[in-house]
Amino acid sequence: MSLRIANTLGRAAAAAVLALTLAHAAHAAGAEEAAAAASPQAGPPAGFVAPADAKPDDTNAQRSKSQPGNNAPMWRKVHQSGQAPGISQVEGNEAGTLIQSLTSYPGSLYTTAGEAWRQTRNNWIIPYGGALLLLVVVSIGLFYWRVGQLGGHQPDTGRVIERFSAFERTTHAANAVAFTVLAISGIVIAWGQFFLLPVIGATLFGWLTYALKTAHNFAGPIFAVSLVIILLTFVRDNLPRAGDLTWLVKFGGLLSKREVPSHRFNAGEKVVFWIGVFALGLVVVGAGLVLDKVIPGIEYTRATMQIANMVHGVAAALMMALFAGHIYIGTIGMKGAYEGMRSGYVDEGWAKEHHELWYDDIKAGKIPAQRTPDTPLPAPVVKSAR
Ligand code: HEM
């Protein structure tokens, strides 16, 4: 590179640096000037006349004349409207309360109720509910990978027993479908922003979430009704019986070749029934119906909705975690279980292996092998040994 060119470049660079320094100095000076202009001068400008003091009960209109721009009293009232509701042209519940009063919800700071709800939901329910569901799904996956499908130790006899009547299967199916719609739409509404929004973008995510929220609102009442029918239909066979405790202590012997004897439903199913279907089911549905504002005699304030939302969220996350296990066993986790709920019939070998006390009572004639009256049992089918 010739000396000359090097010189020119050097100069150009120096000039650029100089220009930049000057520009920066100018920007700084300009900024300083702007700041000086913006910053309040030591005192009021010459000739300034202080407006009259705002009378405490001045209306906004009056104060905009006496102290133009001073909206502090109004915002103070807005902030305190949780304690002292203001007057608003809007009609209805809490119309005068623009910001709720101070409170704290589990895990939140002591702050305005809306903010407290936001903190409880975003700092606790969403992260920990999500973590619980992930944990359960991963554990089920690991269990299936390590242990595989349960059952299949007793050979088929070809003779079947009716395990679920058509009415029981229909109720269960309505409930299972409604639950699945509620679970999927609920998961997208609560956690979709983390795993779906980054993939499909805001527009599609917005549409999808709106459609799923609508599906959620329709599936809710169906689930509520079918849940009550399921409770009434299966409660008798879920009452505690001798042997249930042994079953629980030995985890049913599910990991061994010899299952602990149980009656029609084993103690694990009874736990799912009383905690999942009864307790959590009624709490989720109850809070959901409050969110739908259909329960009479309740004052539907923002606080009611916030509490119902948190209760609904926590109970739904726990219920989904519990039913993930039920759905796993009821689909691929146990040989023949799904077929029993789909067709209503199980092989005697299956009944003997998984519900021996129930099988014994059928063999002893204490319980009919055919639950649906006036319907003959299907003819025995000889199946090849499994
Ligand atoms: C996709 C979802 C579901 C599947 C695949 C499924 C599958 C099954 C299967 C295969 C059985 C028969 C188990 C046996 O023979 O002992 C069963 C029983 C049962 N299921 Fe489900 N289920 C689902 C969802 C639900 C939901 C959401 C509920 C209630 C909230 C529920 C409540 C029950 C009850 C009460 C029984 C009778 C056993 C008992 O009472 O303990 N299921 N389910």
Out of 177, 341, 347, 359, give the residue to mutate to test ligand 1, the one with the largest number of ligand atoms within 8 Å of its CB. 341
246: containing domain: 152-363
Q: Is the CB of 264 under 6 A from ligand 1?
A: no
Q: How far is CA 9 from the centre of its chain?
A: 65
- Calculate how far, in angstroms, residue 314's C-alpha sits from the geometric centre of ligand 1: 21
- Calculate how far, in angstroms, residue 330's C-alpha sits from the geometric centre of ligand 1: 7
Listing DSSP states for 213-262 in one string gives HHHHHHHHHHHHHHHHHHHHHHTGGGS--TTHHHHHHTGGGTTSSSPPP-
CATH code (residue 356): 1.20.950.20
Q: Is the CB of 315 under 6 A from ligand 1?
A: no
Q: Does the residue 183 lie in any domain? A: yes
Q: Is the CB of 350 under 6 A from ligand 1?
A: no
Q: Does the residue 179 lie in any domain? A: yes
CB atoms within 10 A of CB 373: 7
Q: Does the residue 140 lie in any domain? A: no
Consecutive 10-residue runs of the chain (386 residues): their mean pLDDT? 62 66 64 57 70 68 78 79 76 81 94 94 96 96 92 90 96 97 97 96 96 96 96 97 92 80 96 97 97 92 96 98 96 95 95 96 94 80 56
- Vertex 183 angle, CA 277 and 144, to 5°: 80
- Calculate how far, in angstroms, residue 81's C-alpha sits from the geometric centre of ligand 1: 49
Listing DSSP states for 190-215 in one string gives HHHHHHTHHHHHHHHHHHHHHHHHHH
Q: Does the residue 232 lie in any domain? A: yes
Q: Is the CB of 226 under 6 A from ligand 1?
A: no
The confidence score (pLDDT) of residue 271 equals 96
At 103, which helix (H) or strand (E)? strand 102-103
DSSP tag of 82? G
- Calculate how far, in angstroms, residue 261's C-alpha sits from the geometric centre of ligand 1: 20
- Is the separation of the CB atoms in 102 and 110 below 8 Å? yes
State how many domains the chain has: 1
Q: Does the residue 121 lie in any domain? A: no
Q: What is the pTM of this model?
A: 0.79
- Calculate how far, in angstroms, residue 192's C-alpha sits from the geometric centre of ligand 1: 27
Q: Does the residue 249 lie in any domain? A: yes
Burial class (CB in 10 A: 0-12, 13-18, 19+), 39: exposed
Q: Does the residue 35 lie in any domain? A: no
- Is the separation of the CB atoms in 155 and 386 below 8 Å? yes
Tokens in use for 17? 């640096």
Determine phi and psi for 81, rounding to 5 degrees.
-70, -10
Q: How far apart are CA 247 and CA 249, in angstroms?
A: 6
Q: Does the residue 25 lie in any domain? A: no
Q: Take atom 42 of ligand 1 and give the residue whose Cα is closest.
A: 176
Give residue 128's identity as a one-letter amino acid code.
Y
Rounded to a whole number of angstroms, the distance between the first and last alpha carbons of the chain is: 86
